[in-house]
Chains A and B, each alone.
Chain A
Amino acid sequence: MAIQETLNTGLNIQPEAEADAVLQRRKYIGMNVLRTEDPAFLTGRGKYTDDVHLTGMLHAAFLRSAQPHARIVSIDKTRALALDGVIDVITGEDLEDTVGPFSTTVHRPEVETVTRAILNSKVALYVGQPLAIVVAESRYLAEDGVDALDVEYEVLEPVMDAEKALEEGSPLLYPEMGTNNFAHIEFQRGDVDECFERADHVFKKRFHAGRFMAAPLEARGVIADWDASGELTVWSSSQVPNLVRTYTAGPLGIAESKMRVISEGVGGGFGMKAHIFDEEVLIPAASQRVGAPVKWIEDRYENLAASLHSKEVIVYLEMAVQDDGTFLAFKGHYIGVGGAWPAHPWTSLIDPLPAASLLPSFYDIEAVGWSIDAPMTNRCPLGAYRGVGWTPGHSARETMIDDIARELGIDPLEIRLKNMIPDGEEFVTVTGMKYDGGSYSASMLKVKEMIDYDGLRQKQAELRKEGRYIGIGWSPWVEPCAWGSEVAKANGFAAEFFDAASVTIEPDGSVTVTTGCHNHGQAHYTTLAQVTADTLGVPFESIRVIENDSATAVYGTGTYASRTAVVAGGAIMRAGSEVRDKIIRLAAHAMEVSPEDIDLAEGKASVKGVPDKVMTMQEIGMLAYYGGPNRIPDTEPTLTATRSYDPPETYSNGTIVAIVEVDIETGKVHLQHIAACEDCGTMLNPMVIDGQMHGAIAQGIGGGMYEDLAYDASGQFLASSLMDYLYPSTTEVPNIEIAHIETPSTVTEGGIKGMGESGTIASPVACLNAIADAISPFGDIKIMKSPIGPNDVREMLRAAAAGSNGSAPATQPADVETRLSQQAEGA
């Protein structure tokens, strides 16, 4: 197969589904079309930011704070500037007149605004904060320059304990604010107090969800070329090139029309690269200053210490529950463990606010109440990562439901099914979220069947007799998708969102589609071409999709929050239908029939019932653009339309189950298998959906069991290399089995609901619940934090052994208890 022939021909389409429609080339949505993107990546021609080389380009490296909280007494540039090849050393003062600040907030009255200099060389607020930029002839020389900077710090007391940061008298990150708390928000629906009074049981829990991060394999990178005519071109490894333009043009003092942002190849983003970073302002500012293009490529230390961390929330939950397991009401207090400042533009609320907003999930409760605090601490800023705060919120709620099920002696599957809202229908939750139909129970039952749940429980009981401990962890989820204005508001973010697409038939009949979303692994050039092909009735191969460049694609806000299939897909359906109407009218006019008689398929307009009356798309294109009087009078020549789409609230759902075996001697957890069933409404390309599920689940396994961005009490960062920050590898991620249910959305274009994040929302707690289930015979096991590593397992076993007052667990407890306590003493 020659590379130039590896187009997505019909051969690539899996034969099983709807073979006739496919063979007639009339339907691509729902097919496993192979990816248009692949040949470039497979041959090493991916065009990532560091692959770009410009004539005369210089290189930047950053001096970064070694202190979590300090006043910078001085930065002496003398030795650095004396080095051969060092061109410039830039500190905050050098940019005071040219670079404006970032002002970050969420538009609600309860939220503060933090306004800060983008290069602060006076005060350090976390380990890794940029303090100065060295520009040199090579990266090696730039780093030599950084090493030659002499910095004097006056160390200040670090604020590391998020709960203490909220107390009166705590040291402050921003003394002028008078508080460390970025936001305090409260919310209540229904009579919460009455439910808690009426309940047979009130359960309480504190859960500390750990700090982990996207850490894409390609770290960030920025190149800026601010040329002599005042035009600025920026290459940035970003998921949101247009937002980079919109948010950095202001501080840089340049019109957006003079600025182009290119994010062609991006080696993974996962939400982290959906922010606006300081370097995206500072590298253009450096380019302007030195009068040459400047490149900065983030190294792994910078990525781990100083890009963005995510997910850390301390959650206090209370649940009012009846004897029979009926949930009456939930209460929560979410403390988002923020960093030095709110990440721009989503802020650190991106974790606690969605976590709290989705507290009821799909449980049919009568009342809900929650509050949020968002203290800033001397850590790396907290921002979005695949699944945002739904991950910690979900982990806290679902570990607690397992605790309750164990306490009440109800199976964890049963207690969830008992409280679940009905499948298939629209449903307004107690918080006011409008669910657009789903397979909440059906997906659980599907996974029950996939893993032979009853058989597995039997096996579990038998293995326990042999001293082997397997566990089954349930994690059903509902995921707010598409991040249009309504879903954003339902999650507490009062802002407007949309995206846009243009669809153009070129004169030769080929099709160009552009969108404001961003393609970095999700296969948009394939899946959105599938949508276009079906909308227009043209062959897949005739379509080219363009994104990732503010100069060549229509303006939009980028890709994040499981939105592109819904938002760009919907915009393409709208723009495409307009173009399709134009084509039909033109063909009808040319062939002298009425538009209703035109059939548009396979790139041909034919007259129904008259097989030889046909126009190809090329004939239609030429007629439209160059047909002059043969065109319909008073129509414009272009065959194009641009439309935007802001979808209503939409929610996908599904279930993940993890099966583990725990070695109680070492605490080691062997994750044996993951089975999942997902429902994202209309599927565009099942192969791509499976890939998104696999990847997101693997990242969640990392967050549940391995990845921990730890700081010590003095604020030093402990996870500064991939030897300390543990990515799951092939040997930690098991085989993952995915099933699908399709419940099309009742409200979106095409019934598409969106997907991509749910694996990272739901798989951590599937692992945590499986671990607890495995070791539950040893006493009162409750998971209070994530991640859970071997030490934590051993701790829980010790605590359970110490806490059991002689009431023997079901199987061979005494032995193990004694062994554990002996080992504990020996340790």
Chain B
Amino acid sequence: MSSTIDVGTQPTDDQRILRMTINGVQRRGIAEPRMLLVDFIRHELQLTGTHVGCEHGVCGACTVRVDGEVVRSCIMFAVQAEGAQIETVEGLAKDGELNVVQQAFRQEHGLQCGFCTPGMLLATESLLAENPDPSEEEIRDYLSGNVCRCTGYVGIVKSVQAAAKQRSQA
């Protein structure tokens, strides 16, 4: 057992300082080239709303938006997002108010344990941006890369439908 514990805070030779804009705020942090974007967001920037369910690109729990595109942040390196505009679940509510999609998920029981929820919300935002009035089939198709182990998707599909309706009336 080595006797000292020295957790460095300065970048070492193979580390770099990265800058990116997250939810409209300029942030910077230290990353090795091999650090995954999701680890950088969660542990370096301490935005823990983005989750990790598989680390191999299947479950969608780590979904964020990078420069407007839906991205699985577990299969992208942090250094690849240098300078990017990133949106995470923490940026959805504005001025302390749940946005329409968040409210719809609550109203229609679109979450249980909440672990898939941040990814689902981001994916839903993208779906509705691309297609404001999706059919049930289109919703199911779009969200098929986001796994939920709790809800059987029934509440999630209803939540997306409710959010679409609400947005179209706004």
Contacts and interface: CB of A to CB of B under 8 A. Distances in A.
Interface in A484-524: 520-523
Contact of A42 (B117, B144, B147): B117
Q: Which 10 A-B pairs have the closest CB atoms?
A: A44-B49, A41-B114, A267-B115, A694-B152, A698-B152, A521-B112, A521-B113, A44-B89, A51-B48, A722-B58
B38 to A, nearest CB: 11
Contacts of A140: 32, 34-35
A243 B114 CA distance: 24
Given A44-B50, A721-B56, A695 B109 contact: no
A267 B151 contact: no
A218 B103 contact: no
A691 B151 contact: yes
Contacts of B97: 1-3
A488 to B, nearest CB: 26
B73 to A, nearest CB: 13
A42 B7 contact: no
Given A40-B114, A87-B5, A695-B112, 9 more contacts: A44-B47, A44-B89, A214-B149, A217-B116, A217-B147, A299-B55, A521-B150, A699-B149, A722-B59
A50 interface: yes
A297 B32 CA distance: 20
B95 to A, nearest CB: 8
B167 interface: no
Contact of A44 (B90, B139, B140): B90
A68 B146 CA distance: 33
Contacts of A86: 2
Nearest to A291: B5
A688 B111 CA distance: 10
Contacts of A41: 111, 113-114, 117
29 contacts: A3-B93, A3-B96, A37-B114, A38-B114, A41-B113, A42-B105, A43-B102, A44-B47, A48-B51, A50-B52, A53-B46, A88-B1, A217-B61, A217-B147, A218-B51, A267-B114, A268-B149, A270-B149, A290-B1, A292-B5, A300-B53, A300-B54, A520-B113, A694-B155, A721-B54, A729-B144, A730-B139, A730-B157, A735-B157
A218 B145 contact: no
Nearest to B113: A521
Contact of A217 (B35, B55, B149): B149
B102 A694 contact: no
A690 interface: yes
A821 to B, nearest CB: 35
Contact of A268 (B39, B58, B115): B115
- Kindly name the residue among A4, A43, A219, A523 whose own CB sees the greatest number of chain B CB atoms within 10 A: A43
Given A140-B34, A300-B56, A694 B151 contact: yes
A695 B52 contact: no
Contact of B113 (A43, A45, A218, A699): A218
A282 interface: no
A570 B70 CA distance: 46
Contact of A729 (B1, B106, B139, B147): B147
Contacts of B98: 1, 3, 6, 39, 42-43
B1 A46 contact: no
Interface of B: 1-2, 5-8, 32, 34-35, 39, 42-43, 46-56, 58-59, 61, 88-90, 92-93, 96-98, 102-103, 105-107, 109, 111-118, 121, 136, 139-141, 143-157
A797 interface: no
A455 interface: no
A721 B58 contact: yes
A810 B93 CA distance: 61
B46 A217 contact: no
Given A217-B61, A691-B112, A727 B152 contact: no
A698 B140 CA distance: 14
Given A3-B93, A217-B59, A722-B56, A695 B149 contact: yes
Interface in A635-693: 687-688, 690-691, 693
Contact of B154 (A1, A137, A736): A736
B83 to A, nearest CB: 23
A698 B50 CA distance: 24
Contacts of A88: 1-2
B140 A46 contact: no
A150 to B, nearest CB: 19
Given A694-B154, A731-B144, A4 B106 contact: no
Contacts of A219: 53
A218 to B, nearest CB: 5
